[in-house]
Amino acid sequence: MLAALLCFSMPAAAQPEGVATALQAAVEGNHRLPENVGRDRYRHPVETLQFLELQPHHTVVEIWPAGGWYTEVIAPVVREHGRLYAAHFAPHEGPAYRQESRRFFQAKVESRQDMYGSVQITTLNPPEDTAIAPPGSADRVYTFRNVHNWMKAGTEDAVFQAMFKALKPGGLLGVVEHRAPPKRSRKGMVRSGYVTEDYVIEVARRAGFVLIDRSEINANPADRKLYPNGVWSLPPSLRGGETDREKYLAIGESDRMTLKFLKPFRSPAR
């Protein structure tokens, strides 16, 4: 059944070692902010993007890139032969911090065209504004630590539908998200910022995606997931200030799921 859903031939692609070299060069580039480099040990960008099958010729959509942590790695890889749509916050709506985040991101991209020349900024402001890229244009859509935000607003289905629409048949969606223990309630997920894998998979399935793989690349068994400020107790947020700061720094960033979904050529049987 899964073979019938896949039913596509892959285009010519760079060899895995070539992609790894390109990713490592981007990670080591002098365009990256030092504070972002310091988070590589938690976020494993080379391994994560290899697992999510990024290729230099791809058209990629990065969802809500905020300050551009992952943009620093993806954009140089696709700059010459691909394209990167950065589906950012609305420029003139929503909380002030989101508007400032978009301005910062735009200035960052404009400051280094040698690295960010492939980036085209679009807007994701669900549920109304979801035209993140031309329909059926993307080889890959990636979202990093965003699902809990959409759940809080009740817009997760609208966003997953938008990502499905942007992808080509045979394209892949990569999701990295703070991972809740199984069976945590929706209220508990929204309050804590941790989401169960089962819920992410269910929302993706409702949009038409098929789960094809998952990875423990971004797992953190030291994360106990029960803190006064939820996931924001941990770095980089450290919302508790000096209270238990050293404890949270020792834990590191959150335990995260890394999921890979396919947009099939044919819709799965209901």
- By the 8 A CB rule, do 224 and 194 touch? no
Nearest to 178, CA basis, from 158, 164, 206, 199 = 199
Answer yes or no: is pLDDT of 15 > 90: no
Beta strands in 145-269 (DSSP E): 167-178, 210-215, 256-262
- Residue 140's contacts (CB-CB under 8 Å, 6 or more residues apart) are 52, 53, 54, 58, 59, 60, 61, 167, 171, 172, 173, 174
Instruction: Give the pLDDT confidence of 213-266 residue by residue, as tens digits.
Output: 999 999 999 999 999 999 999 999 999 999 999 999 999 999 999 999 999 997
Nearest to 173, CA basis, from 255, 239, 48, 263 = 263
- Residue 18's contacts (CB-CB under 8 Å, 6 or more residues apart) are none
* DSSP three-state, residue 60: strand
Instruction: Give the pLDDT confidence of 127-177 residue by residue, as tens digits.
Output: 999 999 999 999 999 999 999 999 999 999 999 999 999 999 999 999 999
Map tokens 């992410």 to a residue.
Answer: 200
Instruction: Give the pLDDT confidence of 175-223 residue by residue, as tens digits.
Output: 999 999 999 999 999 999 999 999 999 999 999 999 999 999 999 999 9
Quote the pLDDT of residue 10: 39
Answer yes or no: is pLDDT of 55 > 80: yes
